[in-house]
Amino acid sequence: MGDIKQGDIVGRKSYNLDVLFKVMDVLMTDDGNRQAYLKGLHLRLSANAPVDDLVRIEPGTLARHLMEQTKKNSEHLNRIFNRRLKEREIILGRAMNVEHGKDQNMDKMDGYDIPGTVLHIDGDKDYLELCLTTYKQLSITANGYCISEEKQSAMVKDLLKKHSPDLLVLTGHDGFIKGKMDFSDINNYHFSKCFVDAVKAARCYEKSRDDLVIFAGACQSHYEAILAAGANFASSPQRVLIHAYDPVFVVEKIAYTSIYDPISIKDIISGTITGIEGVGGMETRGKYRLGIPKSPY
């Protein structure tokens, strides 16, 4: 199959090719072996592996995998749009009711949507671009910045001042360090402490979990520490891998739920790809507002 090189899509033989990775770099170790730095194709996971443990994924297999991912994402978006239509009817009906019953002159009146806005800071450029594309498809205004996990805490406050978002996403890569045993020790994670520091910095700008909703974390992140720092939602309760789109689907539900309505945690998490093992959080109010009437101009 030829030599493994930068840019190849590979799987790890020792893990039965369970996750597809992109080879970001290949380096020579001190003992003369070749080591590859890997990034998950769709999962927010970074890893190192001996080149001898890697198998290059054939183009046909990769094409089928990408088509399957595209299909799943499309189905997920369709479910979101269908949910929104039903919820909008309820919100519009509530807005049309007046003190003495429904105003018949407003039957044909329509409103306009004002969903919550997002600031998304991501340690990975490829994941950020995927997320920004998905925000656009979901009609959510989002400003995105690719900033390494180590630098997010130093830059988040200025970006919050610049954009004044309703929702903040802090993500990138993470993972439990191989060979460690204590899942409660934040020092045993690659970047969890960085996410904790970034959340704390954001809370210095806005303390209220209602005024600024925060999602933070990546694959296998120290869930409890991130929530304790001030996040509304975080990964990963069971220290599992999370999908690149999970943060988007969490904030979408909040961005399009009325400000009058608290959101069921179960409803938010059920909208993610990974589910309850990968994402958790606390009760949070929506950020959506309906405007009436919609101008013809």
Q: What is the pLDDT of residues 77-94, one digit of tens each?
A: 888 888 888 888 887 777
Task: Count structural domains, the chain.
Answer: 2
Q: Which two tokens stand for residue 259?
A: 């400000």
In this structure, are 150 and 46 located in the same domain? no
Angle in degrees, 0-180, between the axes of helices 125-137 and 246-255, rounded to the nearest 10: 30
Considering the domain architecture, whether residues 31 and 119 belong to the same structural domain is answered as no
Q: Does residue 262 fall inside a structural domain? A: yes
Q: Which domain holds residue 22?
A: 9-57
205 in any annotated domain: yes
Determine, yes or no, domain membership for 115. yes
Task: Judge if 113 and 243 occupy the same domain.
Answer: yes
Predicted confidence band of residue 175 (pLDDT cuts 50, 70, 90):
confident
Q: Looking at residue 112, which CATH number applies to its domain?
A: 3.40.50.2300
Assigned domain for 3 exists: no
Quick one: 155 and 266 in the same domain? yes
Question: Looking at the structure, do residues 158 and 266 belong to the same domain, yes or no?
Answer: yes
Domain shared by 129 and 28, yes or no: no
Q: Confirm whether 182 is domain-assigned.
A: yes
Instruction: Identify whether residues 176 and 38 lie together within a single domain.
Output: no
120 and 229 co-located in one domain: yes
Q: Are residues 39 and 93 in the same domain?
A: no
In the chain, the amino acid numbered 178 is K
Considering the domain boundaries, does residue 206 fall inside one? yes
Q: pLDDT at position 103, please?
A: 54
Return the minimum-mean-pLDDT range out of 56-65, 99-108, 284-293.
99-108
Which one-letter amino acid corresponds to residue 113?
A: D
pLDDT classification of 47: cutoffs 50, 70, 90: confident
Q: Where are the beta strands (DSSP E) in 142-259?
A: 142-146, 167-171, 213-216, 233-234
Classify residue 29: in a domain, yes or no.
yes
Separation CA 49–CA 32 (nearest Å): 14
Are residues 162 and 29 both part of a single domain?
Answer: no
Q: Specify whether 159 is located in the same domain as 20.
A: no
Is residue 4 included in any domain, yes or no?
no
Do 26 and 6 form a contact (C-beta atoms < 8 A)?
yes
pLDDT at 101 over 70: no
Do 34 and 92 fall within a single domain? Answer: no
Residues in Cβ contact with 44 at an 8 Å cutoff, skipping those fewer than 6 apart: 124, 127, 171, 172, 173, 174, 218, 219, 241, 242, 243, 244, 246
pTM of the model: 0.85
